[in-house]
Amino acid sequence: MINIISDGGYLFLVPLMLLLIMVIILAIRGHLIPQQQAKTLKLLQSLQLFALVWGVLGQVLGLIRALDIIEFVEGVNINIVAADLKRTFLSTFLGAIVFLCARVGIIIIQWQES
């Protein structure tokens, strides 16, 4: 797991990991404490969208970096480009995982309310 975070970049993956932990805790809290469900739902909805956008932002910046390497390095090695492209997708992947976990938590809380 540490290798994945270092490969994907600390700037984007560490906050996404923290968001994942927060989302899991909030989903459990919303399920166990009915008085806090409305507040928890709003917070989960905000966090899920933020995580998704943060992951996409990480991907866009990673793609820009990969394209800079292609542009400025003469005789660029395809392995370097492939490694950078792989890194760009890690933040989007983790952002989508956080989004889905929050969405599942929201669905469970809404199902419990009805």
pTM, rounded to two decimals: 0.89
The answer to whether residue 62 is domain-embedded is yes
Tokens coding 84: 């950078």
* Residue-level pLDDT at 79: 86
| Span 21-31, average pLDDT | 95
Residue 2 has pLDDT above 80, yes or no: no
| Span 103-113, average pLDDT | 93
48, 54, 53, 58: which is closest to 23 by C-alpha? 48
| Span 59-64, average pLDDT | 91
Tokens coding 52: 């998704």
Domain range enclosing 55: 15-113
CB 57 within 8 A of CB 16: no
The answer to whether residue 20 is domain-embedded is yes
Q: State how many domains the chain has.
A: 1
The answer to whether residue 7 is domain-embedded is no
* Residue-level pLDDT at 107: 96
| Span 37-55, average pLDDT | 96
Residue 77 pLDDT grade (very low, low, confident, very high; cuts 50, 70, 90): confident
The answer to whether residue 74 is domain-embedded is yes
